[in-house]
Amino acid sequence: MDSNRINRNNFSLTFVTPYYDQGRGNATTARRIVSGLIENGVTTSILPYEEQRYTDDIIERIEASTLLHVLHFRRFAEWLEANNYHVKTPYIITSGGTDVNMDIFNEQLRDKIGHVLRDAAAVTVFSQDAKDKLIDIYPVIAGKVDIVKQSVWFPESLPTNIEENRSVGTNILLPAGLREVKDVLFVLPALIKLKQHYPNLTFTILGAPLESEIVEAVEFAQKRYPWIRYVEEVPLEEMPEIYMKHDIVINSSLSEGQSSALLEAMLLEKPVVARNNGGNQSIIKHEKTGFLFDTIEDFYQQVQHLLNSKQLYKQISENGRKYVTEHHSLAEEIEKYLDLYKVAIEKTCQ
């Protein structure tokens, strides 16, 4: 990477994210990008605005920065509104996923989101599907919307025994925070049916308990079906080991930005079965790097195929890892952000 692309001796960045410590997708995104920036010599500080109280010190940090990199359209817009603060520091802003798939279509949120998008030096999304949705709602920002694919990053080195762990078992993992949009119990009827044919089948839901109604529904399902397990958020450092203990990783979200969990699973050669939405389509080529389902019956058939064919399981696993390795590298992701930073900084100097 060209070290002269930006003058890092005179450049400081604050990464402004809703979450950094909680086990959420936004936190995973933030930690990955911040790690990549620091490795590339960018002086980077972290401001998790939903995890810290609004203070004068926060504003001083923002205004002392050369540039901000903000994560999540809606949450940032609401934070600015709640604190009656107008950002003077130039910033680029990255989609958090739900904001571009749901929030921009909410009439009560559309204008406030539009305001932060119009003020941004650049806007980034993870996929063409997200870009199309965003420009359809906000055509005025079309010229500054870029696609930056997510990469995969773990704080520690990956396990070395991937090949040894490629036996076809019946442990299914769904990594997702318990929110309505994640629809974590959608596939339960298919799993109940599969359990009749595969007595050793287990289903683990892993994620933060974010919405009480969904938590209650999952706890009720646990009591009724002892083979269902719910595990609250765990450190990202522990996720590779968890993936390795499961055989299939699924995603049942009604909408998805670009699932870090699916990319992580694919890198570790775990076949993925995911709901057919724009975000999942951006990383899964159906029947090649994973499976996409529209109905419960689709899901049932796809999981059954994987469980019944070691050859198919191996092929999907290998294809998934190859795809992630070739198309979702951290180096490429960071390089694209550095290009955007350079343009944003140059604009402010004109």
Phi-psi label, residue 33: left if phi above 0, alpha if psi -120 to 50, beta otherwise = alpha
pLDDT digits (tens, 9 = 90+) for 93-138: 999 888 988 899 999 999 999 999 999 999 999 999 899 999 999 9
Q: Which CATH class is domain 163-327?
A: alpha beta
Q: What are phi and psi of 13, to 5 degrees?
A: -120, 140
Every domain of the chain and the residues it spans:
8-151+330-349, 163-327
Residue 335 to residue 331: CA distance in whole angstroms: 6
Alpha helices in 176-329 (DSSP H): 188-197, 212-224, 239-244, 260-267, 278-281, 296-308, 310-327
Half-sphere exposure of 119 (CA within 13 A, CB side): 19
pLDDT at 3 over 50: no
Q: What would the mean pLDDT of 285-297 be, rounded to a whole number?
A: 97
Phi-psi label, residue 176: left if phi above 0, alpha if psi -120 to 50, beta otherwise = beta
Nearest alpha-carbon partner for 327 in 275, 258, 276: 258
Same fold, 8-151+330-349 and 163-327: yes
**10 Å Cβ neighbour count for 146?**
16
pLDDT digits (tens, 9 = 90+) for 215-241: 999 999 999 999 999 999 888 888 999
Helix, strand, or coil here: 204?
strand
pLDDT attached to residue 90: 95
Q: Which CATH superfamily is domain 8-151+330-349 in?
A: Glycogen Phosphorylase B; (3.40.50.2000)
Task: For tokens 């080195």, name the residue.
Answer: 157
Task: For tokens 């450190």, name the residue.
Answer: 235
Longest CA span, the chain: 68
Among 49-58, 154-163, 244-253, 277-286, whose mean pLDDT is lowest? 154-163
pLDDT at 349 over 80: no
pLDDT at 25 over 90: no
**What are the CA-CA distances from residue 176 to residues 23, 154, 242 (Å)?**
10, 17, 14
Neighbour-count burial of 286, counting CB atoms closer than 10 A to its CB (0-12 exposed, 13-18 middle, 19+ buried): middle
pLDDT attached to residue 164: 57
Residue 22 to residue 208: CA distance in whole angstroms: 8
What is the token pair recorded at 249?
């990783």
Is residue 115 within 8 A of residue 77, CB to CB? The reply is yes
Strand partners, 202: 171
Neighbour-count burial of 112, counting CB atoms closer than 10 A to its CB (0-12 exposed, 13-18 middle, 19+ buried): middle
Measured in whole angstroms, the distance separating CA 150 from the mean position of its chain's CA atoms is: 8
Distance in Å from the first CA to the final CA of the chain: 25
pTM of the model: 0.85
Is residue 243 within 8 A of residue 265, CB to CB? The reply is yes
Q: Rounded to the nearest 5 degrees, what angle is found at the Cα of 240, between the Cα atoms of 238 and 241?
A: 70
pLDDT attached to residue 139: 97
Residue 317 to residue 167: CA distance in whole angstroms: 11
- Higher pLDDT, residue 237 or 144: 144
